[in-house]
């Protein structure tokens, strides 16, 4: 949509541009409300394999699923981090700027929020990677949601 407006203004004469500017005085603009996207993530592992899944939900209610299988031995906590990282990367790929993130493992959500210390040394690189991706959003909020609601 923004490209159409820019193209239109590029073809206007300076007088026409002034007229358009006069039709939209800045003082009448209170603000632009940007609705945030939602992201649900989950990871699971057993003795045979590990899988991760993410569901992105747009402000208009469009559901966009992502999933993958991990081809290396890992722990359940690591699969949760992998799923969250994959979801953040997917959201950024869709140019999402505001995101509400929901996960069903209280330990991981609390570690992401820096409320709980990470004791497993193997999880530190995941946490650092997650913080890097988190910093790319203008607003991001993490919330624990019980497994039955995820």
Query: So what's the pLDDT on residue 51?
Result: 93
Average pLDDT, the chain: 81
Pick the closest to residue 101 from 148, 149, 41 (CA basis).
Answer: 41
Instruction: Name the token pair of 16.
Output: 């026409």
Instruction: Average the pLDDT over 78-92 and give the result.
Output: 95
Query: So what's the pLDDT on residue 27?
Result: 53
CA–CA separation, 89 vs 136, rounded Å?
10
Enumerate domains of the chain plus CATH numbers. Answer: 37-149 (3.30.420.10)
Element (H, E) at 111: helix 106-112
> At which residue do the structure tokens 């209610």 appear?
61
Q: Which residues contact 100 (CB under 8 A, 6 or more apart)?
A: 36, 37, 38, 39, 140, 141, 143
Bridge-based pairing of strands 37-45 and 50-57 is antiparallel
- Least-confidence region, from 20-29, 66-75, 95-104: 20-29
CA–CA separation, 99 vs 138, rounded Å?
9
Q: Helix-strand-coil percent breakdown of the chain, rounded to 5?
A: 45, 25, 35
| Percentage above 70 pLDDT, the chain | 76
| Percentage above 90 pLDDT, the chain | 47
Instruction: Average the pLDDT over 27-31 and give the result.
Output: 52
Residue 129 has pLDDT above 80, yes or no: yes
CA–CA separation, 138 vs 100, rounded Å?
11
pTM beyond 0.85: the answer is no
CA–CA separation, 118 vs 77, rounded Å?
11
Residue 9 has pLDDT above 80, yes or no: no
The tens digit of pLDDT for each residue in 32-54 reads 555 899 999 999 888 888 999 99
């Amino acid at each position: 949509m923004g490209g159409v407006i820019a193209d239109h203004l590029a073809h206007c004469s300076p007088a026409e541009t002034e007229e358009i500017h006069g039709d939209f005085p800045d003082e009448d603009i209170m603000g632009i409300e940007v609705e945030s996207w939602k992201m649900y993530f989950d990871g699971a592992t057993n003795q045979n394999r590990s899988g991760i899944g993410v569901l992105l939900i747009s402000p208009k209610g469009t559901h966009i699923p992502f999933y993958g299988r991990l081809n290396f031995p890992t722990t359940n906590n690591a699969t949760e981090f992998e799923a969250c990282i994959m979801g953040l990367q997917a959201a950024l790929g869709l140019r999402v700027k505001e995101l509400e993130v929901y996960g069903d493992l209280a330990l991981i959500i609390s570690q992401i929020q820096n409320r709980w210390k990470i004791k497993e040394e193997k999880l530190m690189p995941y946490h650092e990677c997650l913080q890097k991706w988190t910093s790319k959003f203008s607003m991001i909020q993490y919330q624990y949601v019980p497994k039955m609601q995820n």
